[in-house]
Structure 1
Amino acid sequence: MAKKPKLRTTTPFIGQIFEKIAPKIGAKVLIEPDWRIAGQITFKNGRRCYFRHNTIDINSLGASDIAKDKDYANFFMAQMGYSVVPGRAFFSEKWCEAIRSRLNIDAAYRYAVKIGFPVVVKPNSGSQGKNVYKVYTKREFYRSLRAIFKEDRVALVQPAVTGNDYRVVVLDDKIISAYQRVPLNVTGDGSKTIRQLLRVKQRSFVASSRDTRLRPQDPRIKDYLKRQHLTFASVPRRGDTITLLANANLSSGGDSIDVTKKIHPDFAKLTIRLTKDMGLRLCGVDLMINGSIAERPDKFWILEINSAPGLDHYARSGRSQQTIVEALYLKVLQSMGQRRS
């Protein structure tokens, strides 16, 4: 019988990490050889757990599914009294027909007008900030929602909230990582254009083994520059920092600042309690704070939660971040290996 051809040769980030750190606790990792996106972990006590892409066998299925649905997650968090960003879900034309709903793209626009521009529109599922838009006009609104409906049949429309963007990663009763996310930006040198500065930034990512690919053709960047009366041909003054996107996802080119040791105890308690209330053991909690996470909570919003918080972009943003993520996943492995009733 002929051998099955290898369909993929690169092991995803989480598989690479598990293969590296599992021997430290006497565990073994077996990765499916063809696609290399799924793996099995066997612990010393005989317990077996699994992972696929960034999804780790640590959270219950029901709680994970709720966390992946932003609208449902927001509903339950709001019912428990958590400060979430209000908003409504709307549906693609095909889905409206299937479920006999009138909450189509036109209804979404009327809602946006009611709550006032600018608004944020984003897919109800998905991650890494893909197809998340901050829009100011009718034209931008319809263009953005049509882009979302090509990949997701449900979109959320929310008022835009501003502040500092943070991700806090919780494992059981502990904060294992917290970092501020800074949107994609470039700093002028007085001679290079914004397009050239983006190329320099991309080369720096490659040199540091960060696999983020910047997309100058992303219409969100052009729109954001336009609002600042800039174009890709503009030459920022030396030392001037130009922000290129509204969202701060690391996968979109954002930067991270570790704040694990600075998080205020009240924010730590809040995120740990939220993780438990949502039925999760491992959770990434995204916060928008009007101030600093090091200060006592005042005005803030929970943007969303993530039951499979991928940390690959964070780890590849620097050597110290790589060390932090390896230590984090070692704690995750140790927790997964414990037998629970």
Structure 2
Amino acid sequence: MAVLSRLDVQSDAIVAPSNDFQLPGYETLELSTQNMIADAIKYGINYQVLDENEQIIKLTYGTHVEYIKEGNITRLDSALSHALMENKIVTKEILRSADIKVPFGYEFYRIEDAIAYFDQLPSAFVVKPKSTNYGIGITIFKQTATQADYEQAVHIAFENDDAIIVETYAHGTEYRFYVQDNAVLAVLERFPANVIGDGIHNIAQLVETKNSDIRRGEHHRTPLEKIIIGEVERLTLSLQGVDELSIPKQGQRILLRENSNISTGGDSIDRTDQVSSHFKDIAVRVAKALDVTITGVDIIIEDFTTESDYFVIEANQNPMMQMHLFPAVGQSRRVTESLITLLFPESLA
């Protein structure tokens, strides 16, 4: 209501929105961009959508102009820094040089070379594309894999990139740290796409029911993403001895994926206030090592309440914001508003 009133929309002309997370009239934009616009309006900043497909907006406050792409790509970070973060091998080398713990792994440019590495694999490992985001093409093996399963994972990864990484699996729980301007603004525990059995419905039906949640959608227009049963999901199910037509027992949790990305149907829990400052400091060190203002740092942690073992598995150049705005469980962290005030400090006066 506050946002619409700034647009001089009369209250009797307002139709109640169908949900409490999208900005009416802008539902075709990514949810983070919708909320960037809402926060810009809140601070009296003019806005213009320059390219809906590329998610580029122009913000103006007096003579001050800023451009934002996909929620948080701004002039504050260089194209070189983004290119370094996009390359997971380079990222790991930079972080290792800064005495930040990262998993050990190998890079492959040919399928046959990756497959030939099978006999040297550790008991638990990850196969993933070298440069993609959002958990696309990632397969995680927490226990010893058959050669057939490994080869399938290699093919899936190469379908999404021209190079892949095979690295040691880091045991623990994964957390996303949203870093802006040398401070951690939000921490989210992410849980892989899953369903819980009722003893009646099969896995495909349980997925359909879970996807009916209004918070789940596609293409980052909603807080959570729908679960899609594809190659990776079917492989993950087979490793548990089930398929999409299997009927789980009452209360039995079935994973559709091992990677915990929200983009691939995962769930989210805000942990900002519970995570030890030790790990927040590590996330800030990652941002400084990569020379970026904004990044999403993924850290596998054994015990997030104390200085336990950890591995930084990734730094994201365009981290999702909506999962912090609208976590499935826990407090909202208004990271879009924090970016608006960082770009336009004069709007606070």
Whether these two folds match at TM > 0.5 is yes
Structure 2 partner of 1:273? 285
Q: Partner residue of 1:39? A: 57
Match of 2:305 in 1: 294
Alpha-carbon contact 2:268-2:329 (below 8 Å) kept? no
**Structure 1 pair 193–275 and aligned structure 2 pair: CA distance change class (3 A):** same
Aligned with residue 122 of structure 1, among 114, 128, 131: 128
Paired position in structure 1 for 2:226: 213
Gaps of 5+ in 2: 1-25
1:56–1:82 distance in 2 versus 1, CA, 3 Å: same
Q: TM-score, normalised by structure 1?
A: 0.83
Counterpart of 1:51 in structure 2 is 68
SS in 2 for 1:204: coil
SS of the residue corresponding to residue 156 of structure 1 reads strand
Moved more, 56-65 or 177-186: 56-65
Residue 96 of structure 1: aligned partner: none
Contact 1:165 1:248 in 2 (8 A): yes
Post-superposition Cα deviations, 1:123-182, rounded to whole Å, max 9, x if no partner, equal 111211010112523223333333333332121111222210100111123211001001
Give the letter aligned to residue 212 of structure 1: E
Q: Which residue of 2 aligns with 1:257?
A: 269
**Deviation by residue 1:10-46 (Cα, 9 ceiling, x = unmatched):** 22323211211112333222111564621112234x3
- What SS does structure 1 have at the residue aligned with 2:104? coil
Report the counterpart of residue 19 of structure 1 in structure 2.
37
Provide the residue aligned with 2:254 in structure 1: 242
After superposition, the C-alpha distances for 1:172-211 in whole angstroms (9 at most, x for unaligned) are 2321100100111111222222221111111124579556
Q: Percent identity?
A: 22
Distance in 1 between residues matched to 2:310 and 2:245, nearest whole Å: 36
Q: Deviations over 1:226-246 (max 9, x none)?
A: 222222232222222222211
Give the Cα–Cα distance (whole angstroms) in 2 for the partners of residues 278 and 289 of structure 1. 21
One-letter code aligned to 2:312: I
For 2:190, the equivalent position in structure 1 comes to: 181
Whether the 8 Å CA contact 1:12–1:36 is kept in 2: the answer is no
Aligned residues of 2:325 and 2:335 also touching (Cα < 8 A): no
Match runs of 1:1-341 below 5 Å: 10-32=28-50, 35=53, 37-44=55-62, 46-57=63-74, 58-91=76-109, 104-135=110-141, 136-205=145-214, 210=223, 212-216=225-229, 218-291=230-303, 293-296=304-307, 298-313=308-323, 315=325, 317-318=327-328, 323-324=332-333, 327-338=334-345
2:12 is matched with which residue?
Answer: none
Q: Is the 8 A contact 2:269 2:328 kept in 1?
A: no
| TM-score after normalising by structure 2 | 0.82
Task: Indicate how the Cα distance of structure 1 residues 317 and 173 shifts in structure 2: closer, same or farther if over 3 A, else same.
Answer: closer
Q: Is the 8 A contact 1:117 1:137 kept in 2?
A: no
Residue 13 of structure 2: aligned partner = none
- Distance in 2 (CA, whole Å) between partners of 1:150 and 1:74 is 23
Structure 1 contact 112–157 (Cα < 8 Å) conserved: no
**TM superposition shift of 1:255:** 0.7
Which whole-Å CA distance do the structure 1 matches of 2:54 and 2:77 have between them?
22
Aligned 8 A contact 2:193 2:227 in 1? no
CA separation of 1:59 and 1:236: change in aligned 2, threshold 3 A:
same
* Aligned counterparts of 1:80 and 1:191: Cα–Cα separation in 2: 52
Contact map agreement 1:181 1:254 (CA 8 A) in 2:
yes
Q: What runs of 5+ residues in structure 1 fail to find an aligned partner?
A: 1-7, 92-103
Q: Secondary structure at the match of 1:32?
A: strand
* RMSD between superposed Cα atoms in Å: 2.5
Q: For 1:263, what is the secondary structure of its paired residue? A: coil
Write the distance in 2 (CA, Å) between the matches of 1:131 and 1:28.
39
Q: How far apart in 2 are the matches of 1:112 and 1:49?
A: 49
Contact 1:180 1:257 in 2 (8 A): yes
